[in-house]
Structure 1
Amino acid sequence: MEDDAPVIYGLEFQARALTAQTAETDAIRFLVGTQSLRYDNQIHVIDFDDENNIINKNVLLHHVGEIWQICASPADKNVLATCYNKTSDSKVASCAAVWRIPKELQAGSHEVPDDSSNNTQTLELLCHLDNDAQSSMACITWEPLGDGKKIMSLAENYLMIWDLQESSTKAMISSSATLEGKGQLKFTSGRWSPHHNCTQVATANDTAIRGWDIRSMRQIYCIDNAHGQLVRDLDFNPNKQYYLASCGDDCRVKFWDTRNVNEPVKTLEEHSHWVWSVRYNHSHDQLVLTGSSDSRVILSNMVSISSEPFGHLVDDEDLSDQEDNQHDEKTKEPLQDSIIATYEEHEDSVYAVEWSSADPWLFASLSYDGRLVINRVPRALKYNILL
């Protein structure tokens, strides 16, 4: 099973920001952002060579500060956005900006030997997402199926949709909404739904999850106490339009049908500490990845609430009558949900997990000590799903 062995890459700085390249995906590429207070921060462009099981990397300087979140443009593989902290006059502000990978690296050239840090390239700034609440940008996310012209940002209690103009060198707020209620309400994370023509987003604040229609900027649902403690992350099922996964500091992962938010459809309680990240597989939505500060990555098979709860259904014409009856018996019961694998390669909190956009069987996880691990879905399960 040589093929299932993990590939590990160590960054010299702490890191918590990870994303997969989503545009033009033939290459398996991940972007990692560092958090260093003493040195210039970096974005590591990690290209995974699947055939030889090796990683090629390029390092780009991100002079402006510690990177809290990174997301790749869905339309241009050389464009990305970051949420970062900058310190000035001993005040810390959280900002967001859109960047371009410099031309020299765009062809995926890896001529630079690993130790020559002196010719590190610098990211090219396209624009800042400037707003009045800019001192506390919590999260940014691109419109998933768009042309790379729309970004959502969450700062304090403001939800903003930005239009990027003039080749992304200018950002204008096209619509915004304010989270209202008692106390100091603050968004912590958000996701843009790939369904309903990308007109809906979900946000998390404290223990609540809310859905918004971005045409009217009104709330369409609210799950008040979705988790017992802070909600850390959200993800939409790519194939089932009302299904949303959430995770949080109550160590749980929950699955919701947003048409009926009184109860979760399913709850997973496999982690023993805060769950920071949850991700549905883009092609096979029964595969769900979670990462936690218990240092573990768990791959679950949530087949009962997937778009194929009975496995692949066989055409009736393929079966004789006798087989037909047995077949009916067999497919009435949804398949059982299970934990497929627990990955223990990390020694520190796992802040992010991401599926590759180019290879549905491959994923990366990142822990705070700067360790990036690339893993594959176990081969037996892969063939089980495919065949």
Structure 2
Amino acid sequence: MKEKAKEVEERYSQWKSLVPVLYDWLANHNLVWPSLSCRWGPQVEEATYKNRHRLYLSEQTDGSVPNTLVIANCEVVKPRVAAAEHIAQFNEEARSPFVKKYKTILHPGEVNRIRELPQNSNIVATHTDSPEVLIWDVETQPNRHAALGAPTSRPDLVLTGHKDNAEFALAMCPTEPFVLSGGKDKCVVLWSIHDHIATLSSEAGSNAKQGSKVVSDSEKATESPSIGPRGIYQGHADTVEDVQFCPSSAQEFCSVGDDSCLIFWDARAGPTPVVKVDKAHDADLHCVDWNPHDINFILTGSADNTVHMFDRRNLKSSGVGSPVNRFEGHDAAVLCVQWSPHKSSVFGSAAEDGILNIWDHEKVGIASDSTHPKAPNAPPGLFFQHAGHRDKVVDFHWNASDPWTIVSVSDDCGSTGGGGTLQIWRMIDLIYRPQEEVLSELDKFKSHIFGCDS
């Protein structure tokens, strides 16, 4: 154990020394409590040198104070603004001045997963250790103080339908206000938030017809409204760990679970699988993502330490021979995978080894020669490793409105005895820009560099 801790500290020290070279910008924020989920909300302000974004986080406490869903304001410095020496100067034990709490919601139970609604960025869904999915309007929810014994905040809507706890598998549909969840009951459940709006309008109409008064806020306050599912889908033999909508269809989605299966569903075809890949990996599957630029490609991450890329035009129902690419660059279970919103071939993977890898599947198979220098023994497709976390990276999210900017969180309780670390970072553009462009830019500085040398 001591050996492992020493190794982690050595790796971290080496990473820290390279920060000014590898990053265009980095903010390190020490969390009192670990966060299991982090998501970008909308951009709320633009200034000359930086933009302000909403950030959704959770705080997993030890019970001495309530668990919370945190809405923060985050200042993201624009590309090529921060000086290298400024990026390098951060204290691991301190909170970042770039991240400030905006609102706190006292969550009933731990926040295991947060997802924002694309059609309305103020609406978020959360998973906790229960069968329900909770829906929150983060703008209208009152700001609460996390004091011991304080009553929990009241969700704006509760989605019911699971028969057992649903803790991690959660997705929002890009095209319709639909919510998807998976749980320990081995089921995938689909809801429409529209069903709640329809229920509200019909209730208001019937109250008006009967001449009865509409229920007052104080009478409603004791209980959140709830809706049942549009559909329940059965086909997994163990806990469903992650779910994802097809980026172009509210009716098509996929799921992965502890049964090593990747399953594709179509709501129009009924409650049974359309395609089932029985052995997508050699172990439990933790995560799945569907490429928003090319709907044929799906990523899965597993406890077997690998990421697989599937082409849905070329799926086999049995055997691990089905993926079109395997990515082997982690030493522990992969917890999160996500395609880049800005480049169709790029994606990230985060794992229990404390590393967040950035890959480009188009680079797989490109022969390495003197004009394409590559780190020795680097796995095919890997072109950047973020090693700023000292314990398992439990979640990360690309910023859709700020290209190449990522937020990542680690649970540091195991290694440092602390809470967690939140990092917001953007690699230097020389790493991902076309090689000819970069060489041409560097060429401009050649005379200056050689001049300094003499």
Please give the TM-score of this superposition, normalised by the length of structure 2: 0.67
Q: Is the 8 A contact 1:361 1:382 kept in 2?
A: no
* Aligned-pair CA distance for 1:105: 8.3
Work out which of the residue numbers 113, 132, 151 in structure 2 matches 1:95: 132
Q: What's 2:410 paired with?
A: 367
Work out which of the residue numbers 172, 196, 209 in structure 1 matches 2:228: 172
Q: Is the 8 A contact 1:295 1:349 kept in 2?
A: yes
Q: Tell me how far apart the structure 2 counterparts of residues 296 and 103 of structure 1 sit (CA, whole Å).
A: 37
Q: What's 2:66 paired with?
A: 40
Work out which of the residue numbers 51, 54, 72 in structure 1 matches 2:77: 51
Range with greater deviation from structure 2 (52-61 or 256-265): 52-61
Q: What's 2:288 paired with?
A: 234
Q: What's 1:315 paired with?
A: none
Q: Does residue 1:128 correspond to 2:178, yes or no?
A: no
Q: What's 2:180 paired with?
A: 152
* Aligned-pair CA distance for 1:250: 0.4
Q: Tell me how far apart the structure 2 counterparts of residues 176 and 386 of structure 1 sit (CA, whole Å).
A: 51
Residues 271, 244 of structure 1: alpha-carbon distance in 2 compared, 3 angstrom cutoff: same
Q: What's 2:28 paired with?
A: 8
* Aligned-pair CA distance for 1:223: 1.4
Q: Is the 8 A contact 1:303 1:337 kept in 2?
A: no
Residues 137, 104 of structure 1: alpha-carbon distance in 2 compared, 3 angstrom cutoff: closer
* Aligned-pair CA distance for 1:373: 0.8
Residues 123, 295 of structure 1: alpha-carbon distance in 2 compared, 3 angstrom cutoff: same
Q: Tell me how far apart the structure 2 counterparts of residues 37 and 133 of structure 1 sit (CA, whole Å).
A: 27
Residues 166, 210 of structure 1: alpha-carbon distance in 2 compared, 3 angstrom cutoff: closer
Q: Tell me how far apart the structure 1 counterparts of residues 358 and 99 of structure 2 sit (CA, whole Å).
A: 22
Q: Secondary structure at the match of 1:241?
A: coil
Greater fraction of residues in helix: 2
Residues 291, 386 of structure 1: alpha-carbon distance in 2 compared, 3 angstrom cutoff: farther
Aligned partner of 2:186: which letter?
N
Work out which of the residue numbers 238, 241, 256 in structure 2 matches 1:188: 241
Greater fraction of residues in strand: 1
Aligned partner of 1:284: which letter?
K
Residues 350, 337 of structure 1: alpha-carbon distance in 2 compared, 3 angstrom cutoff: same
Please tell me the root mean square deviation across aligned C-alpha atoms, in Å.
Answer: 3.1
Aligned partner of 2:243: which letter?
G
Please give the TM-score of this superposition, normalised by the length of structure 1: 0.78
Q: Does residue 1:201 correspond to 2:271, yes or no?
A: no
* Aligned-pair CA distance for 1:145: 2.4
Work out which of the residue numbers 416, 427, 452 in structure 2 matches 1:377: 427
Q: Is the 8 A contact 1:29 1:356 kept in 2?
A: no
Q: Secondary structure at the match of 1:347?
A: coil
Percent of paired sites with the same residue: 17
Q: Tell me how far apart the structure 1 counterparts of residues 343 and 155 of structure 2 sit (CA, whole Å).
A: 36
Residues 373, 51 of structure 1: alpha-carbon distance in 2 compared, 3 angstrom cutoff: closer
- Structure 2 portions without partners, runs of 5+: 1-19, 47-51, 83-97, 201-224, 317-321, 367-378, 413-419, 438-454
Aligned partner of 2:108: which letter?
V
Q: Secondary structure at the match of 2:431?
A: helix
Residues 283, 25 of structure 1: alpha-carbon distance in 2 compared, 3 angstrom cutoff: farther
* Aligned-pair CA distance for 1:57: 2.7
Aligned partner of 2:266: which letter?
D
Q: Deviations over 1:69-90 (max 9, x none)?
A: 11111111211110012xxxxx
Q: Considering only CA atoms, is the larger Rg found in Structure 1 or Structure 2?
A: 2
Q: Is the 8 A contact 2:43 2:401 kept in 1?
A: no
Range with greater deviation from structure 2 (94-103 or 25-34): 25-34
* Aligned-pair CA distance for 1:46: 3.1
Range with greater deviation from structure 2 (31-40 or 65-74): 31-40
* Aligned-pair CA distance for 1:61: 2.5
Q: Secondary structure at the match of 1:383?
A: coil
Aligned partner of 1:175: which letter?
G
Residues 121, 375 of structure 1: alpha-carbon distance in 2 compared, 3 angstrom cutoff: farther
Q: Tell me how far apart the structure 1 counterparts of residues 304 and 141 of structure 2 sit (CA, whole Å).
A: 45
Q: Deviations over 1:115-144 (max 9, x none)?
A: x978x9975511111225144454221112
Q: Deviations over 1:293-349 (max 9, x none)?
A: 1011111122258xxx9xxxxxxxxxxxxxxxxxxxxxxxxxx95322111111111
Q: Tell me how far apart the structure 2 counterparts of residues 234 and 353 of structure 1 sit (CA, whole Å).
A: 13
Q: What's 1:312 paired with?
A: none
- Structure 1 portions without partners, runs of 5+: 86-92, 107-111, 310-335
Q: Is the 8 A contact 2:399 2:407 kept in 1?
A: yes
Q: How does 1:343-358 map to 2 (within 5 A)?
A: 343-358=386-401
Work out which of the residue numbers 332, 338, 361 in structure 2 matches 1:279: 338
Residues 132, 340 of structure 1: alpha-carbon distance in 2 compared, 3 angstrom cutoff: closer
Q: Tell me how far apart the structure 2 counterparts of residues 23 and 374 of structure 1 sit (CA, whole Å).
A: 15
Work out which of the residue numbers 337, 354, 361 in structure 2 matches 1:302: 361
Q: What's 2:208 paired with?
A: none
Q: What's 2:385 paired with?
A: 342
Q: Is the 8 A contact 1:277 1:352 kept in 2?
A: yes
Aligned partner of 1:162: which letter?
W
Aligned partner of 1:250: which letter?
D
